[in-house]
Each structure stands twice: as structure tokens, then as C-alpha cells.
Structure 1
């Protein structure tokens, strides 16, 4: 009878899926802000804490390396620990995103806008 209306059901289903995805993405963003990763350098002498969103939340420096003449080495270790933490945060974020897209039935290589 109204064959063309069959597509509207598909459109409504797509809209519902998009809304569900939006809610899940918002929840994932909140979750990423709570997940903490730790980057290290100098065999653990410098540790940087970072959320899975990439926000640096803390730094721990072993007092044994706080020698004024070693200032440049300490700075390099801090930078290395921060980079390690941010790399781990990016990896964790991608893992969480892959889990979300898989749960929504999207292809594993589906790119979302963030």
C-alpha cells in the first residue's frame, strides 16, 4: 500500500541508534576522565599520572635524583614520563572507543569525531 513508508521505520531506527550512541559517547567521556594511567621514565624514578583523556594529574619524582647538577637529566626524565603517560592515555582511550563501537555493532575501524 504505502511502500515508501518502510524506509521511515529504518530512519527511526537509525535515529534511535544515533541517540543511543550519543548517550554512550557522553558516558565514555566521563569514564575516560576517571581512568588513570601512569607513565614512567628512568626505571620508575619519575612517574606521571594522566587521565585517559590526556590530562596530567600528578608527578612523582624519586628524591634520589634531585641533585642540582643533574637538572637537565631530571627535566628530560619528566618530559619522558609525561610523554609515556600521554601515549598510554591515548592507547586506553582508543581501547575504550573500540569497545564502545563494537558494542554498537559498528565496524572496528569506524572513526568517530573525537
Structure 2
């Protein structure tokens, strides 16, 4: 498994971690201090911002899990990850892709794309 494959695996695991203490630890281990994650519905900066984006997604989509939807496509310190969000063993509710950029063997940037972009429950 390449370094970017491992970072992508840990990235998905952190989005699925429901224990707040453990999730914060995963974020701190995975992301650089100046990390930034953006997608069509969130801009998150630093460990606290990224952790809050993950917690918000879990509140918004309870019981759903992120899973890889194909191999990680990587070169240099950049990876493209296609993923799905859905119930265990069930169909995907959202399919997305994220471009991950690494620095110092940790993620420094994440750019997410969603299909479809959720339009309901944005205030939850």
C-alpha cells in the first residue's frame, strides 16, 4: 500500500469515527496544523474545523458510512479518492470524490466534490 493509499484509508476512517475523542485524535494524526478542507457545503480550517465538519456530517447523515468506491489514484503527494456514503451493505446516498494533498506525510488540503450535493437538512 502506498503512502497516499494509507492516507486515503485513514481519511475515510476519520469521517466514520463517531467517538469525538478518538475522531479528534485521528484528525490530529492525519492532518497538518494548517490543514484546510473544502467541499460545496463546508469550508473547514485547522484540526478543530475539520473535526467539526466530520461531526456535522455524522449528525446530518446518522447511520451512514463512508467507503471507498474504487482504487486511490495517486501521484507525487496528491491523490484522488472516489467514495460513497451509505448504510452498511446498502446503496450509496451520495457519491463523491476528494482530492487530497499531502505535506510532511500528513494531509494538508482536501477538496471534496459531491454527487448529488445534499440540499435538505443543511441546518442540522
Report the structure, 1 or 2, having the larger strand content.
2
**Taking structure 2 as the reference length, what is the TM-score of the superposition?**
0.23
Report the structure, 1 or 2, having the larger helix content.
1
Larger radius of gyration: 1
